[in-house]
Structure 1
Amino acid sequence: MRNGIFHLVTGTALALALSAPSAYAQKKYDTGATDTEIKVGQTVPFSGPASAYATIGKAQAAYINMINDQGGINGRKIKLIQYDDAYSPPKAVEQVRKLVEDDEVLLTFQIIGTPSNAAVQKYLNGKKVPQLFAATGASKFTDPKNFPWTMGYNPNYFVEGRIYGQYILKQYPNAKVGVLYQNDDLGKDYLNGLKAGLGDKASTMIVGEASYEVSDPTIDSQILKLKSTGADLFFSASTPKQAAQAIKKNYEIGWKPVHILDINATSVGAVMLPAGAEASKGVISVNYGKDPLDPTWKDDAGMKKYLDFMTKYYPDGDKNSLFNTYGYSTAQLLVYTLKQCGDDLTRENVMKQATSLKNVELDMALPGIRVNTSPTDYRVNKQLQMERFNGERWELFGPIIEDTGAAG
């Protein structure tokens, strides 16, 4: 996109300008882009402890296939190269190096998971390769000053945690809070955001904290520890496997605190129902996208496009999975951004377009939620709405919440 404005052009000058080859019309390419192709790379946990996220990568690949069938982007087909990193940082480093140095991709897209993104962030920034729409909301991935080539997609974990803290203060001001958190940037950002939201009351309201490692087989001991503190509000800053374990364990031992769960672990098919419909009932979280299980969107145009896509391009996928709606939305934003690049497919211009998105409405975003970014604010999703699980699906409640405060 061009920002220059011609205030005054004479007829002669205009004629000359139209007859001369324009510098802006020339095609510009970096490694990974040609007249016919745009190479994009990502790592996905197709195996390992976070393999529930594998379907995200499959939905994204299906979306790219749809776009290619429609003629691609400005006449170019997207070649999406995916590798399994098993949610292992060393494996992610190995695979991302392969993408950049052997496959020579123009950019990386939606590398999944906080640990994997953290492991490759310095490398990609050193190489000046876009780490675009990374599938994480940790604060370090929306830090343009220190990491100008990295842009996270997920709602900022610190900000989301702060929203929960403010919600608790308003609705449960006398709560005794127990926190389960993943021992990495994801969990720590949520914990710090929660404390920021609770403000001066954090030290007295939080009566217990327990962390776990992604590789831990269960979190039973952590749940028992938190129950023993007398907590009557439980905040789980976790990923799908441990989130489901916590819901199930709480139910088994008869612990019934108010349960708040982070957005990353709200999949009905991968978390809520495996944990048990009755056990999951009443869990609270946030969302920014439409849920296929919610009859509110039965006649929604964006929902119909998504369902048609799933039927044709990913028939084996669960159309009701929020992971698949997420994959669809992220791929849609990638395509929008690359279209904005026009014939200037340089890495610098990819970042320029990604950091100047204005009022972009995605098919699966909740009404009123739009994508806006700037060179000083890399956050893609800053608007959220509270929701509660009713045993079958999530039900939205309250207004759209926009938090534009510091991202940690």
Structure 2
Amino acid sequence: MTFRLTFAAIAAVAFAASAQAEGTYDTGASDDEILIGITAPLSGPASSYGIACAAHAAYFEMINEKGGVNDRKLKLLCEDDGFSPPRAIEQTRKLVESDGVLFMYNSLGTSTNTAVAPYLTSMEVPQLLLNSGASKWNDPAQNPWQTSSIPHYLTEAQIFAQHIMETMPDAKVALLQQADDYGKDYLEGLKLGFGDKFDQYVTVHETFELSDPTVDSQMLTIANSKADIVVLAALAKHAAQGIRKLGEIEGYAPQIYLGWSSTGIDTVLKPAGLEHAKGIISTAVIKHPEDPAWAGDPGVAGYVAFMNEYFPDGVQANISNVFAYATNEVLIDLLERAGDNLTRENIRDLAQTIDVQPSMYIDGVKFTTSPDDLDPIKTFQMIQFDGEKWVQIGEPITAD
């Protein structure tokens, strides 16, 4: 009897040790694989940003060739949401309920992420490092399963206001605002930055819908106001239209401030006309690979080597590709810290305790989160377009 009890105890200990070695998993994770879902606009009005799927897939290929993360391979499932909230809900449900992903990752768009947030929260599935800079994601009480991966628009607008007051204190400002959460964050950020001087600075405020074919009429109204500065809170298509229209209006040459998410040279500035884009000011947190200032930088060298080998068809200067690369470094750090505890709750908790310096982030800019502050980036570098490339101007600015 004594021998049998001892043998049973030994067997129980061995079983427990084996279970621990195999890890603690939720749906989408195993000893060999981590299944990750993403929706992106592979079609529709924001399709120029859909390149992120290919960039992520290429990065995961590189990681898998090196052995994966903690000996587990990463598998990415990307679905087209067409930048449509109903479609995003449909595709997200498929990825969670049919495909069984562990978490949703870096899905693009404020409206689409807002649409799927209640569902993912109810399912207790992390909406990890989502590709939206809306300030709403810095609200753990309302959005406990959501974390963002990119600079918040409200914080950037605050930086714009600080920079304007420092460099053009007597300027009159016109704001072109996309009529959604994206545009509202720029309005609120300018209010924060200018404070009680907001009405003194912002004298014209024009809005547009994402479905509007052009913003020509809004640009004409702004031009008639003779505002010294135009802040364009617009995504790629309408940002390009606004820049082009302002450039075509004879006798009017305001200083343009452009949201960072629309600074793509190939996707925005070339369609707008490089001659019209020269002199535009924006912000950056990432190193632009074609900027001579980063010649010889190890982070840029690593990015270029990755693109050459794993994503040769991708445009190295495309901001979406650079951000995908940097965000994947944050993800890998998180998954490495997760170890064998690949539950959705642990992934959520780890996303709220990040302290990383991605190799493609400008020196002095970090990615940090804490349980009570999920705005990952507070410091921005001002940049200006010289007609060919973006170059840094001044020192990095931290939002007050």
Return the TM-score normalized by structure 2.
0.93
Output one character per residue of 1:108-156: Cα deviation in whole Å (capped at 9) or x when no partner: 0011011111111111112111111111111111211111100011112
Question: How far apart are the structure 1 equivalents of 2:357 and 2:213?
Answer: 40
Question: What's 1:208 paired with?
Answer: 204
SS at match of 2:367: coil
Question: What's 1:356 paired with?
Answer: 353
Shift in Å at residue 229 of structure 1? Answer: 2.1
Q: Equivalent residues in 2 for 1:359-370 (5 A)?
A: 360-370=356-366
1:167 matched to 2:176: no
Question: What's 2:108 paired with?
Answer: 112
Question: What's 1:285 paired with?
Answer: 282
Question: What's 2:8 paired with?
Answer: none
Question: What's 1:298 paired with?
Answer: 295
Q: Equivalent residues in 2 for 1:379-390 (5 A)?
A: 379-390=375-386
1:217 matched to 2:220: no
Where do 5+ consecutive residues of structure 2 fail to align? Answer: 1-12
Shift in Å at residue 393 of structure 1? Answer: 0.7
Q: Equivalent residues in 2 for 1:365-376 (5 A)?
A: 365-376=361-372
1:243 matched to 2:239: yes
Question: What's 2:10 paired with?
Answer: none
Shift in Å at residue 198 of structure 1? Answer: 1.0
SS at match of 2:393: strand
1:330 matched to 2:327: yes
Question: What's 2:124 paired with?
Answer: 128
> Contact 2:279 / 2:387 at 8 angstroms: preserved in 1?
yes
Question: What's 1:44 paired with?
Answer: 40
> Contact 1:386 / 1:398 at 8 angstroms: preserved in 2?
yes
For 1:315, give the aligned amino acid. P
Question: What's 1:3 paired with?
Answer: none
SS at match of 1:260: strand
> Contact 2:56 / 2:328 at 8 angstroms: preserved in 1?
yes
Question: How far apart are the structure 2 equivalents of 1:132 and 1:261?
Answer: 27
For 1:114, give the aligned amino acid. T
CA spacing shift, 1:258–1:368, aligned 2, 3 Å: same
Output one character per residue of 1:29-87: Cα deviation in whole Å (capped at 9) or x when no partner: 01110111111101111111111101122111111111111111111111101011111
Where do 5+ consecutive residues of structure 1 fail to align? Answer: 1-16
> Contact 2:22 / 2:31 at 8 angstroms: preserved in 1?
no
For 2:358, give the aligned amino acid. L
Shift in Å at residue 26 of structure 1? Answer: 6.2
SS at match of 2:397: strand
Shift in Å at residue 297 of structure 1? Answer: 1.4
Question: How far apart are the structure 1 equivalents of 2:19 and 2:51?
Answer: 43
> Contact 1:259 / 1:282 at 8 angstroms: preserved in 2?
yes
Question: What's 1:307 paired with?
Answer: 304
Question: How far apart are the structure 2 equivalents of 1:334 and 1:385?
Answer: 23
Output one character per residue of 1:87-121: Cα deviation in whole Å (capped at 9) or x when no partner: 11111111111111111111000110111111111
For 1:324, give the aligned amino acid. N
SS at match of 1:387: strand
For 1:234, which of 218, 230, 234 is the aligned residue?
Answer: 230
For 1:309, give the aligned amino acid. F
For 1:287, give the aligned amino acid. A
For 1:252, give the aligned amino acid. E
Question: How far apart are the structure 1 equivalents of 2:20 and 2:170?
Answer: 61
Q: In the comparison of the two structures, how many residue pairs are matched?
A: 385
1:321 matched to 2:318: yes
Shift in Å at residue 242 of structure 1? Answer: 1.0
Question: What's 1:148 paired with?
Answer: 144
SS at match of 1:214: coil
Shift in Å at residue 23 of structure 1? Answer: 9.0
Between 110-119 and 202-211, the greater mean CA deviation after superposition: 202-211
Question: What's 1:346 paired with?
Answer: 343
Shift in Å at residue 22 of structure 1? Answer: 10
Question: How far apart are the structure 1 equivalents of 2:188 and 2:246?
Answer: 24
1:261 matched to 2:254: no
Output one character per residue of 1:201-252: Cα deviation in whole Å (capped at 9) or x when no partner: 1113211111111121111111112222221210001111111111111011
Shift in Å at residue 25 of structure 1? Answer: 5.6
Shift in Å at residue 303 of structure 1? Answer: 0.8
For 2:328, give the aligned amino acid. A
Return the TM-score normalized by structure 1.
0.91
For 1:377, which of 355, 373, 376 is the aligned residue?
Answer: 373
For 2:255, give the aligned amino acid. V
> Contact 2:159 / 2:398 at 8 angstroms: preserved in 1?
no
> Contact 2:135 / 2:375 at 8 angstroms: preserved in 1?
no
Question: How far apart are the structure 1 equivalents of 2:352 and 2:368?
Answer: 8
Question: How far apart are the structure 1 equivalents of 2:371 and 2:294?
Answer: 34
For 1:298, give the aligned amino acid. A
> Contact 1:161 / 1:191 at 8 angstroms: preserved in 2?
yes
Please, what is the CA RMSD of the aligned residues? 1.6
SS at match of 2:395: strand
Question: How far apart are the structure 2 equivalents of 1:371 and 1:225?
Answer: 39
Between 212-221 and 259-268, the greater mean CA deviation after superposition: 212-221
> Contact 1:134 / 1:141 at 8 angstroms: preserved in 2?
no
For 1:289, give the aligned amino acid. I
Shift in Å at residue 21 of structure 1? Answer: 4.5
For 1:50, give the aligned amino acid. A
For 1:103, which of 99, 120, 125 is the aligned residue?
Answer: 99
Query: Percent identity between the aligned chains?
Result: 44
Question: How far apart are the structure 2 equivalents of 1:196 and 1:85?
Answer: 33
Question: How far apart are the structure 2 equivalents of 1:182 and 1:94?
Answer: 25
